[in-house]
Structure 1
Amino acid sequence: MKLLFLNSFYPPHVGGGAELILQRSVEGFQQRGHDVAVLVTGPEQGVHEETVNDVRVYRAGLKNFYWPLTQQRPGPLARFGWHFRDQYNSAMRPPLRQVLQREKPDLVVCHNLSGWSVAAWDEIRASGVPIVQVLHDMYLLCPKNTLFKKGQSCQKLCGSCAALRRPHAEQSAKVDAVVGVSRYLLDTIVNKGYFGGVPRQVIHNASLIAGSNGETSTPSPEGVVRFGYMGTLSENKGVGWLIEQFQRLSLNATLTIAGKGQLDYETQLKAMADPHKVSFVGYQKPEDFYRNIDVFVAPSLWAEPFGMVAVEACAFQKPVIATRMGGLPEIVRDGVNGLLCNADDRDSLGRALQCLHDDAELRQRLSLLSRTAVADLLSMDTMLDQYQALFEDVLGKAQHGAAKQLHVPHTQLSN
C-alpha cells in the first residue's frame, strides 16, 4: 500500500503522545514494505520535504495566527481567533493538494486534525482517495481537545464549543472508516452524531515502552510505601487532588511527582506540598522513575481519551490507582491490576491510597497481575496488524465501488 499519514505535528515537533505513537506506526509500516509518507504542519511557510528515520516527511507552513508549539502562551483573543479560523481552514487545502498530487497515495490516514481542520477531509475526498480517521482526543467536539472546564469534565458542549463545531458532525460522514484509540473516546464522539453510517473500530495504542518484569526495582526503606505520579502537571490531571488526599492521611509513605507544567501551576503545587513527604523530580526516564516507586497513581479529573501512562506503569509491574473516567477503566481493572476511584467523590482517592498502603498482600497480588493485564497493549505488531487489516478492507471496498461505477449495464446503454 502507498499510505499518506496526516497529523498536526511530527517529531521533532511533539505536542503529545499522539506524535510518538504515529512515528512508531509509520516506521513500522515502512519496515513491513509499505510506501509511506507523512504530512504535518510546520512553523515555516511553504511546503518543505525532509527525511526522518528514512521516512518522507512534508511540513506545510501553518496558515493561522500563531504556531501552537510557541514557548509563550498567546492571549485569549489570539487563541479564540486561532480556533475560529480552525473551524474550517481552507487556506490549508492547497498544500495538502500539492502533496496529494505528488505522492498519489492509495489511502490517507488522518490523525489529529488541529491546524488542518476538517477542510482536509474535503480536499482528500476531492482527490478521490479514501480516508481513515484516527481519533486521539476530543478535537471534533472541543477546540481545546479536552472537554474540561472549571475544574471538571464537561457533561455537555458549552456554547463556544457548539458554535465552533456546528458543521463537523455532518462533514464526518465523508470518511471511509473511523478508529478510536479507546472505546470511550469513539462512543463519546459517535453519540454526539458523528460518523453516521461510517464503519467504526477501536484500536488501542500500543505502549512505546517495553517495561520490565520488576526485578530492577530498588527496595524501599522498611515499611515505607512509595506512591508516584508521572505526567503533565496540570489541573485536569488531578495532581493537586492527589497531593491534598495524600497529605490528609497518616501514612508511612512518600509521593514522587515527575513531569513539568506551566510555571505558575508548578509553583502552586509545590507550595501546598510537604517537602518531607512529597518530592518533585521533573522529567525522568521511565525506567528510573518506576524503579523507585511501589504504586502508580493516575488521578485524572478529566476523561482521559486512553491514558497510556497507566499501561506503562503496568508494564513495569506497578499497580495503578486511577479514576473511573474516560479510557482509564479499559486499562485498569478494579482488583486485578489496580484500584479505581471516582473523581466526584473526593475522598475515594484517599481510601484507595490507604488501602494499598495498609494491605501489602493486595499490593503484591496487583503487582504480579499488572503486566499480564495489559499484555495486548505492549505489542506494536498487534496494533499494526489491526490497522493493516482495516486499511486493506477500506481499499478493497473502494476498489469494488470504483469497479461497480465503471460497469454500466447493457440495458442502461440501450436507453
Structure 2
Amino acid sequence: MKICIVSQTFAPQAEGGAEISARAGAIELAKTHDVTVLALGKVGDPLVPPGETRLAGNVRVVRLPWKNSYLPGHLKPSVNFARRAAWHLRTAFGALCVEGLAEFFKRENFNLIYAQNSSYMQPAIFQAAEDAGIPICLHLRDYALLCPKTSMFRREDNCVTPCFDCSLINRRLRLRGNGITVIAVSHFVKQRFIENGVLAEADWHVMHNKNTPLQSFDTSAIGRTTPMERMFTFGYLGALAKEKGVPDLIKAFKALPAGSNARLVLAGRGRPGEEDRIKRLGSVANVEFRGFVTPQEIYRIADAVVVPSLWHEPQSRILVEAGVYGVPVIGSTRGGTPEIIEAGKTGWCYDPEQPGALAGLLAKAVSIGPERWWQRRDELFPGIASFDGTAEQSGYYDKLEKILMTAATGSAV
C-alpha cells in the first residue's frame, strides 16, 4: 500500500508527542509499505526548506512551501496578538495551495492519506484528497480542529465548546466526517469532538499512545524494584506551564508537613516569563529544576511521576512510558489521563478542583516511604507488572494496519 503520512512538523524539527508518534509510525509502516511523509517547509529556512529528503529508516519526506510568516511548531516566535491573529487567518485561508496539493496526490497515486498531525494544513488536505479521490484516515492527538490553540484551555479554564473567535477561524472545518476514518488517542477526545458536532459521522477508533517499540526505551531502567535515593522523589516531565498544573504541583509539594523526607524534580522548559514565575514559586529546599533532559533521567530516579494537568490533556505519553518503566503515576482526572491510570491500575488519580487533593496524595506517598513504596508497589498498583505499554505488548501496529487497510479499501481485513 502507498501511504502519505501528513505531519506538518517532522524531524529534524523539535518534537513533541505528536511529532514523535508520527516519526515512529512512519518508520514502522515503511517496513511493509511505500511511505511518504508530507510536511511543511519554508523558503530560506536552513533546517527545513521545501523539497525532498530521506531520513532514518529510509523514510521519504516531501516538504511543501508554507506561505505564512513562520512555520507551525514548538519554536514559534514571540509575536503580538495582531500578528498571531493574522497568522491564523492566513493559515485558515490560503497558506497551503490546494491545487498544488491535489496535483501532488494525483501524481503520487497514494492509496491512503494518513493525517497524523495536520491541523494547520486543513482544510486543504481534505479538499485535495477529495479532488484526487483518495480516502483519509485522520489521527487526532489534540483539539486543533476545534481550537487553533489546540488545547481548548483559555483564561485558566477549560472550554466545553469553541469560544467565539475560535469558532470563526475553524468554521471551515465543521465536518460531519462521512467517509472519513478517525483515530483518537483517548475516548475523551472522541467524545469532545462528537459533542461539538465535528466528525460525528466518521468511522471512529480509539488507540492510546502505546506506539513506542521496546528498543526505544532504556531497557536498563526497566524493572527497577528499589528506590534510587533515601529521600522520596517525585518527578515531573513536560512544559513548565500553568495549564500543565505545575504551579499547583509546587504548591502541593510545599504543603507537605515540615521535615518531610521528599524532593520534587522538574524537567522541562516554559514560555518566556512564565518559566521564571514558576521557578520563583519553586525556589525552596528540595525543589529542583533540571531543564530539558532525556525522560529516562527522570524515570531512573523518580519513585512517582506526577501528571497534574489542568487542561484536558488528550493522553500524555508519560502515562505509558512511566508504566513501562514501572514507575507509578499520580495524575489529575482531566482528559484521557484516567483511561490509562485507573483502567490500568498504574497510579492514583485526583480531582484538581478538590482543595488539598494532590497534596494529600503526595503526603500519602511520603508517609509510605521509598523503601516500603517499592516493596509494596505491586500491591498498591496491581496493574504495573502486567502493563502492556510497548508497541509489541499492545499490538499497536497490527491494530493500526488493520484500520488503515480498511480505510484505504473500504473493507475489513
Q: TM-score, normalised by structure 2?
A: 0.89
The one-character-per-residue Cα deviations of 1:245-291 (angstroms, maximum 9, x if unpaired) are: 11012122100011111231121111112442100011222222212
**What does residue 407 of structure 1 align with?**
none
**What does residue 71 of structure 2 align with?**
67
Distance 1:282 1:175, change over 3 A: farther
| Correspondent of 1:393 among 385, 403, 406 | 406
SS of the residue aligned with 1:237?
Answer: coil
- Within 2, Cα distance between the matches of 1:311 and 1:110? 23
Q: Is the 8 A contact 2:52 2:60 kept in 1?
A: yes
| Correspondent of 2:110 among 99, 105, 126 | 105
- Within 2, Cα distance between the matches of 1:337 and 1:381? 16
C-alpha RMSD over aligned residues: 2.4
**What does residue 27 of structure 1 align with?**
27
- Return the letter of the residue paired with 1:374: F
| Correspondent of 2:270 among 251, 261, 264 | 261
The one-character-per-residue Cα deviations of 1:91-127 (angstroms, maximum 9, x if unpaired) are: 4313422421332101111122233122210111110
SS of the residue aligned with 2:210?
Answer: coil
Q: TM-score, normalised by structure 1?
A: 0.88
| Correspondent of 2:180 among 176, 180, 184 | 176
Q: Is the 8 A contact 2:40 2:71 kept in 1?
A: no
- Return the letter of the residue paired with 1:395: A
Q: How is 1:117-128 mapped onto 2 (pairs within 5 angstroms)?
A: 117-128=122-133
Further displaced range: 194-203 or 138-147:
194-203
Q: Does 1:330 align with 2:339?
A: yes
Q: How is 1:207-286 mapped onto 2 (pairs within 5 angstroms)?
A: 207-208=211-212, 209-210=216-217, 212-215=221-224, 219-221=228-230, 224-250=231-257, 251-286=260-295
The one-character-per-residue Cα deviations of 1:296-318 (angstroms, maximum 9, x if unpaired) are: 10000100011111211121111
Q: Which runs of 5+ in 1 are unaligned?
A: 400-415
The one-character-per-residue Cα deviations of 1:48-96 (angstroms, maximum 9, x if unpaired) are: 0111121110011211232234553122111111212333437431342
SS of the residue aligned with 1:86?
Answer: helix
**What does residue 18 of structure 1 align with?**
18
**What does residue 396 of structure 2 align with?**
383
- Return the letter of the residue paired with 2:197: G
- Return the letter of the residue paired with 1:25: G
Q: Is the 8 A contact 2:68 2:90 kept in 1?
A: yes
**What does residue 322 of structure 2 align with?**
313
Distance 1:176 1:156, change over 3 A: closer
Further displaced range: 118-127 or 364-373:
364-373
Give 1:154 deviation, angstroms.
1.6
- Return the letter of the residue paired with 2:42: P
**What does residue 93 of structure 1 align with?**
98
SS of the residue aligned with 2:69?
Answer: coil
Distance 1:379 1:151, change over 3 A: farther
Further displaced range: 141-150 or 261-270:
261-270
- Within 1, Cα distance between the matches of 2:363 and 2:206? 35
**What does residue 138 of structure 1 align with?**
143
**What does residue 408 of structure 1 align with?**
none
Q: Which runs of 5+ in 2 are unaligned?
A: none
- Return the letter of the residue paired with 1:330: E
Q: Is the 8 A contact 1:253 1:277 kept in 2?
A: yes
Q: Is the 8 A contact 1:133 1:178 kept in 2?
A: yes
SS of the residue aligned with 2:121?
Answer: coil
Further displaced range: 266-275 or 227-236:
266-275
Structure 1 or 2: larger helix share?
A: 1
**What does residue 54 of structure 2 align with?**
51
Q: State the percentage of identical aligned residues.
A: 27
- Within 2, Cα distance between the matches of 1:194 and 1:338? 33
- Within 1, Cα distance between the matches of 2:78 and 2:386? 40
Q: How many residues align?
A: 395
Distance 1:218 1:345, change over 3 A: closer
Give 1:365 deviation, angstroms.
2.4
Distance 1:9 1:335, change over 3 A: closer
Q: Is the 8 A contact 1:92 1:116 kept in 2?
A: no
Q: Does 1:365 align with 2:368?
A: no
- Within 1, Cα distance between the matches of 2:37 and 2:299? 33
Distance 1:243 1:192, change over 3 A: same
Q: Is the 8 A contact 1:107 1:395 kept in 2?
A: yes
Q: Is the 8 A contact 1:2 1:35 kept in 2?
A: yes
